[in-house]
Structure 1
Amino acid sequence: MSASRRNLRIGVDVGGTNTDAVILDLTPGSSQPVLSTHKTPTTPDITSGIQSAIHHTLLKAGIEKTQIQAVAIGTTSFVNSLIERDASKLERVGVIRLAGPYGKLAPPFISFPYELRHVLEGPTFFAEGGLQVDGSEITEVDPLEIRGICAEIKRQGIKAIVVSGCYSPIDHDIRQEEFVREIIRAELPDVKVCISKEVANIDLVQRENATILNAALLGFAKTTVAGFIESTRALNLTCPLFLTSNDGTLMTCELAAKFPIKTFSSGPTNSMRGANFLANLGEGGPRKETALVMDVGGTTTEIGVLLPSGFPRQAATYHELCGVPLNFSMPHVHSMGLGGGSRVRKDASGKTTIGPDSLGYRLQEQSRVFGGDILTTTDIVVAAGQATSIGDAQLVKHLEAEDISAAQNRIKQMIEAAVDSMKTSTQDVPVYLVGGGAILVPDELRGVSKVHRFPFYDAANAVGAACAQISGVVDTFEDTSSSPVSAVQKAVEQRAIAKAVAAGADPLSTVVVESECIPIASGEWKGDATTSDDAVFHENGVSAFQWDTKTAVKPIPASNEGRQISTKDVEYTAEELVAYKPDVRSGEWYLSELDSEWIATGCYILGTGGGGNPNGEFLALRELLRKGATCRVIDLKTLGEDKCVMYGGGIGSPEVAAERLMNNDPADAIKALLEYMKLDNLGALSALEIGGGNGMVNMIAGASANLNVPILDGDFMGRAYPTGWQTTVNVYAKDDRGSSQLPSSLASGDGTTVIITTAKHYKDIDKILRACCMEMGTAADAAARPLTKSECTEAMIRNTVSQSWRLGRAVALANKQAQIGNVGNILVDALGGPKAARVLFVGKIFSVGRRLYKGHSYGEIEIHALAGDESEEDDPSQPKQKFEGIMKIDGETKIVAGVPDLISVLDAQNGTALGTPEYKYGLRVLVLGITAAPQWTSTPRGLELGALPAFGYDVPYVPLGEYVEPRSVIEEYNTVV
């Protein structure tokens, strides 16, 4: 084969400290795939550093520039501008949300930190449009409305706009977002427009967040990408230039300038792709195995999972960046504070600690082997004789062998714990080491079959950039009612392949490398690519959409007009949290943002894995409070004797609720029922269930901006149960026909209301409501018959809002006071002491499974006790708890605790609750047991409805402990005004 036909690629990794470059020969059968590498300091202008690195690799390899077929660059420039809140590189963003009547309680930017909102938040608008989960329109887009919005955007001088529509990722036919984009382009031709379906996946808030971040970077991305292009032109390289993306594939400069957010995680992805390439150069050829890639730098170690496909395992659906919840494709990476510059110390008890602080780039000035006086992990490995070429070993020869061994053991424990947290099974896996700090890693690790150090491992990121491929990603909801799932999945995979080929992949080599929630197809770049997706919506330069362009419009005010955004986020110290007192005046508790945050944390704990994450309700309530609304909580005894109490909550799929957000009036179902019954004596609202999101939904309905009635400090489950009939109201019902619940109402949020007046059995009420809910888009709000004060006195589980607050406060304090190792005991104290609750188990999740039993789907997790060297040291002043063996939740071994007692699984790393979708192998967890209220346990009917027999288990109830009524926040902190 002639030299001119060799497939030579240059890969560049632009890091915060160094810029690495490599030249690869990707010609099939090449005897020397890695031709040269070079490392140079990253320059402030970035481009000159890139030029220097490429120039030296070309010199080392003796390659003519004309032989290079492509250059691929991995960069952290875009994500760093967000991390630094650099207003010179970020633009204010206007947002148009298409969702009809929905979503106004969770406006755009709601989950952004204040500091970032202050930099990015532009005018926001709620417009007609949006889809239901079945693909039908909530409402049609109104072109005149969009034109009026454009007039306001023009008036404000906004240059970047986001269009986000409810369920837009499944909108293949109507194309609402595309329609609105065309209108904006016609009205505002100099404005940059991002539509959410092109950026991220299902879940409106997270998708919208990602699109906002992307839009804010468009101006800077255009300039930066132009600089990258100029850096290669200055070297007289005429080959195509690519950037690498989050999923380990190539993006054209056009796409990178359009979607800078898709480069955010290219660093760890490139290290994994590079490790895979280097591994395949060894004996035996391609390995096709699942491996962990460990990238050890100066400050942190990042571990990712490399799949047999050669691509990284993707992260969980939701994650955060710069404090912003997101859901776009990113690799699953575990980071820990261990690197070559990590400081080594001894604490007061003599225990050796590592990091998390590091000398970073100051390593060669301040560490002992370089003449400094600070002990680091690099000093330890040099002193142990494992890195004799680094620094001066004589400077650390005085270190005690015992201290060296203790530090090495701690490093090993940290690495083994991190490895175990990334594994998905107990099987040993290989580890591929990359990064300059790989000298820290011992050759033998528990749970690891072999530790590999491949040649050129310190340039793996640049290698990963050079060998990246072209991709196509499809995220969608598909109808499987008329076709087998396998056939639908194959059709979607073909769409992903077609998308990759359209982007420039070779159709002969393009295959599907991942097909789960996010199908990804990749193939070798063949040398050309189509233009952007916009082209499919135009024919002969004429828009495929038609609308009224002549009718005059006036600017439509933004929904956030006049809103003042703080420049600083509130950060509480541990002392401030201890001193904090809730605002309770004359028996009324006025919730603050901090109160509502703690209540949300506690509600999720009391949800015992179900009930849904209450974060959405917390954000909506916080937004109301920030706008000046109030939310009051009162004790039942202060309610007037002539007043009634309404209770209820959301019903349906949490997945749908994540797209079709709460409408502007969360009290629709309550109002409809009060009107039907002709009642005007509403005195308070109550949660149906304190566990999960429904523990907070009526706080929003009762706020002064809505019904303006207080919330009772209590609920009718004391937890979360899966059905509407598992309530303490039904425990005390006088019959089985649902008279204690009927009439009940169900509201869709867009104008449809259903009232149920009679039923032959209380279980039928739940069935009918859920059937109606399906026709309402699989999410609705329900309300049950108002209760009298005497009925509440009998059935209500008292002070559960207070209980949630105390749990949330305990978790917050444990984190702030570095007491997470003792969080179990702290939570037990918050719940009333060891009679009321106890830590049932501490360990790591060993397996997660699901099974069918008597017509129901049951989940099961198996938790194994931690080995002695896996557990962290607890506070020595606290009693030490040791656990051995195995615990199963929903298993059939010895019963330790069962419903109606509460069993909550918490993340042992931060004390917060875990919902069932978040259970995964290797996660350190704490299992907390809480004794149920007597409304469930003191009568045969309570046990019939709420104990194990209600779930198909013929097992009698054995109390976990003694119930202790939660202490009332109102009574403790009340001040008379």
Structure 2
Amino acid sequence: MKYRLGIDVGGTNTDAVILDDQLNVIESTKSHTTKDIETGIYRSMKTVIDQSGIDPAKITHAMLGTTQCTNAIVERKNLARVGVIRLGYPASVSILPYTAWPQDMVGILSGKYRILHGGSEYNGESITPFNEDELRDLLKKWQGEVDAIAVVGIFSSIKPEQEQRTEVIIKQLYGQTFPVSLSSTIGSIGLIERENATILNAALHKVIQKTANGFAQSLIHEGVKNAKTYLCQNDGTLMSIEYARQYPILTIGSGPTNSIRGAAYLAGAKNAVVLDIGGTTADLGVLVNGFPRESSIAVDVGGIRTNFRMPDIISIGLGGGSLVKEDKDGKITIGPESVGYQIEEKALVFGGDTLTTTDIAVRLGQAKVGNSKNVAGISLEFAKKVESKIKEMIETAIDQMKTSGDDVDLILVGGGSIIAPERLAGVRSIIQNPKGPVANAIGASIAQVSGDFEKLYSYEKIKREVALKDAQQFAEKQAVLAGASQETLELVDVNETPLAYAPGKTTKVRVKVVGKLI
């Protein structure tokens, strides 16, 4: 028998599960997330292995979903010094790199940038000739002053060759292991947003190295010596540790997508709204053909506007540890403040002195945790008013996620799901599973590996079917690099967007394939 180990780190809890080779859940555990993150990972890993009684050497795959990259950007910690090279002089000098960035972030990343000759027009023609001597002179000045470099070419999504040549020269001068991020492999169309995403990817170099190394060491310490290791991506799929070292930005937003994938697996559903209630927030996403729906608009990450792929998620300040307050006029407020991982110390049902949504759920008989006698003094009238407010918050969020007025199926997961009402307006059915509280770790464990590719094609210069085949081949290459088995690759999504402002029937083609783990 072979096994999989899945771990997901949330703001309140770190969950771990072990699945057998038929993807049945053998054992699961939930423990509080620790300040240093790694201690919580190790604790959950050790607990779930010990409880299962399996031989750690029989674990063949280990997956980690983590918020460390997101936290590093939000908290401005452990980020690398980044040099930004934009290929597009003189066409793009009116808008400089780091435009509209928070100033504290610019200072942390060093703020070094240079706009060099190069770049392409939308039709692939060169803006100005690429100048290698100019690049080499700049790199000599930056020697020892940057930890990573972000390379961004105008319309490099059409012609990435200049970016690729820049990377070759950087590694010639700085060494083959020096981290270089190319915008043509990260963002979509839109120079500034793509540049921002590429800078963030470069800035996360140190964070992902520490995360990957710490995960590997924890596995070895517990005797998990034969497992292939993966990190979770934000589209609900996995990538190998080595691929993650190149593209750490793809881990941002992976927590909610793990829950969505886990919810889909537990419910046996492919199309539904997923509500994941944790200790601090409730995240809502949409399942489309078994995968999380992606956002169609630019997304802010830590105050920085980007256009790399992100899940379409709504987060509201409602969780099992959310504080419940009533003002002098009788108005009820819930969250966004939460007792978080301290719920077993501060909530009334556990002998604390703070009123939380969990206390209300216990008072109403929706949950049996802690000591119900501790909340007997809460009036039923007040508890029902709080329940009504919770219901209103959830229903409003569901309406925001819906694309039509029809009722939807709702899959309810997460450790805080005990606070959700039994009925919700606009919801046809509510689906729950006993393993719902660890859906995120299950999602990490059962995920496949994906490959994405996006490019502009002129359908007057290349036949549509040839363009689609070309894009699919590149997506398959990305999936294999990320750790997928070539023989199991499957095309799951093709998206074509005609660009009205560009001649020659120019169309943005995006292709996604998925495959099983090697």
Q: TM-score, normalised by structure 2?
A: 0.92
**Residues 122, 158 of structure 1: 8 Å contact kept:** no
Render the CA deviation track for 1:354-396: whole Å, top value 9, x for unaligned: 2222222333333322333332211211111111x21222222
Render the CA deviation track for 1:872-896: whole Å, top value 9, x for unaligned: xxxxxxxxxxxxxxxxxxxxxxxxx
Tell me which of 362, 378, 386 is aligned to 2:342. 362
Tell me which of 81, 84, 95 is aligned to 1:92. 81
Q: Secondary structure at the match of 2:261?
A: helix
Tell me which of 173, 176, 180 is aligned to 2:162. 176
Show the counterpart of 1:210: 197
Task: Name stretches of at least 5 consecutive residues in structure 2 with no aligned partner.
Answer: 497-509
Show the counterpart of 1:312: 292
Alignment of 1:530-929 (within 5 A): none
Show the counterpart of 2:73: 82
**Residues 278, 454 of structure 1: 8 Å contact kept:** yes
Show the counterpart of 1:875: none
Tell me which of 54, 57, 64 is aligned to 1:66. 57
Show the counterpart of 1:14: 9
Tell me which of 71, 95, 99 is aligned to 1:110. 99
Tell me which of 106, 109, 129 is aligned to 1:120. 109
Show the counterpart of 2:502: none
Show the counterpart of 2:256: 268
CA RMSD of aligned residues (A): 1.9
Show the counterpart of 1:246: 234
1:136 matched to 2:117? The reply is: no
Matched residue type, 2:350: F
Using the alignment, how far apart are the partners of 1:242 and 1:397 within structure 2? 47
Change (3 A) 1:398 1:234: closer
Using the alignment, how far apart are the partners of 1:14 and 1:300 within structure 2? 14
Change (3 A) 1:369 1:112: same
Show the counterpart of 2:184: 197
**Residues 109, 121 of structure 1: 8 Å contact kept:** no
Show the counterpart of 1:394: 373
Q: For residue 321 of structure 1, report the CA deviation from its aligned partner.
A: 0.9
**Residues 345, 352 of structure 2: 8 Å contact kept:** yes
Change (3 A) 1:507 1:265: same
Show the counterpart of 1:935: none
Show the counterpart of 1:57: 48
Q: For residue 44 of structure 1, report the CA deviation from its aligned partner.
A: 4.6
1:236 matched to 2:223? The reply is: yes
Tell me which of 159, 172, 180 is aligned to 1:186. 172
Using the alignment, how far apart are the partners of 2:99 and 2:73 within structure 1? 17
Render the CA deviation track for 1:593-649: whole Å, top value 9, x for unaligned: xxxxxxxxxxxxxxxxxxxxxxxxxxxxxxxxxxxxxxxxxxxxxxxxxxxxxxxxx
Show the counterpart of 2:137: 148
Tell me which of 506, 511, 515 is aligned to 1:519. 511
Using the alignment, how far apart are the partners of 1:163 and 1:520 within structure 2? 24
1:506 matched to 2:497? The reply is: no
Change (3 A) 1:54 1:343: closer
Using the alignment, how far apart are the partners of 2:193 and 2:232 within structure 1? 23
Tell me which of 391, 401, 411 is aligned to 1:432. 411
Q: Relative contact order: is structure 1 or structure 2 higher (C-alpha 8 Å, sep ≥ 6)?
A: 2
Tell me which of 117, 139, 155 is aligned to 1:167. 155
Matched residue type, 1:453: Q
**Which structure: greater strand fraction?**
2
**Residues 344, 354 of structure 1: 8 Å contact kept:** yes
Change (3 A) 1:240 1:423: same
Using the alignment, how far apart are the partners of 2:219 and 2:109 within structure 1? 32
Tell me which of 32, 41, 58 is aligned to 1:41. 32
Change (3 A) 1:39 1:372: closer
**Residues 65, 258 of structure 2: 8 Å contact kept:** yes
Using the alignment, how far apart are the partners of 2:53 and 2:353 within structure 1? 43
Change (3 A) 1:222 1:372: closer
Change (3 A) 1:184 1:502: closer
Render the CA deviation track for 1:227-246: whole Å, top value 9, x for unaligned: 21111122222211111111
Using the alignment, how far apart are the partners of 2:461 and 2:191 within structure 1? 27
Q: For residue 491 of structure 1, report the CA deviation from its aligned partner.
A: 4.1
**Residues 46, 222 of structure 2: 8 Å contact kept:** yes
Show the counterpart of 1:609: none
Q: For residue 436 of structure 1, report the CA deviation from its aligned partner.
A: 0.9
More moved, 187-196 vs 406-415: 187-196
Matched residue type, 1:424: T
Runs of 4+ in 1 over 4 A off after TM superposition: 482-487
Using the alignment, how far apart are the partners of 1:135 and 1:122 within structure 2? 30
Q: Secondary structure at the match of 2:486?
A: coil
Using the alignment, how far apart are the partners of 1:360 and 1:46 within structure 2? 15
Show the counterpart of 1:301: 282
**Residues 278, 455 of structure 1: 8 Å contact kept:** no
**Residues 85, 113 of structure 2: 8 Å contact kept:** yes
Change (3 A) 1:461 1:367: same
Q: For residue 332 of structure 1, report the CA deviation from its aligned partner.
A: 0.7
Change (3 A) 1:370 1:45: closer
Task: Name stretches of at least 5 consecutive residues in structure 1 with no aligned partner.
Answer: 281-286, 528-977
Matched residue type, 1:9: R
Show the counterpart of 2:501: none
Q: For residue 345 of structure 1, report the CA deviation from its aligned partner.
A: 2.5
Tell me which of 412, 422, 432 is aligned to 1:443. 422
Render the CA deviation track for 1:931-966: whole Å, top value 9, x for unaligned: xxxxxxxxxxxxxxxxxxxxxxxxxxxxxxxxxxxx
**Residues 132, 138 of structure 1: 8 Å contact kept:** yes
Q: For residue 506 of structure 1, report the CA deviation from its aligned partner.
A: 2.7
Show the counterpart of 1:373: 353
Using the alignment, how far apart are the partners of 1:372 and 1:53 within structure 2? 25
Q: For residue 486 of structure 1, report the CA deviation from its aligned partner.
A: 6.0
Using the alignment, how far apart are the partners of 1:470 and 1:499 within structure 2? 10
Q: For residue 334 of structure 1, report the CA deviation from its aligned partner.
A: 0.2
Q: For residue 490 of structure 1, report the CA deviation from its aligned partner.
A: 4.8
Using the alignment, how far apart are the partners of 2:348 and 2:36 within structure 1? 33
Show the counterpart of 2:500: none
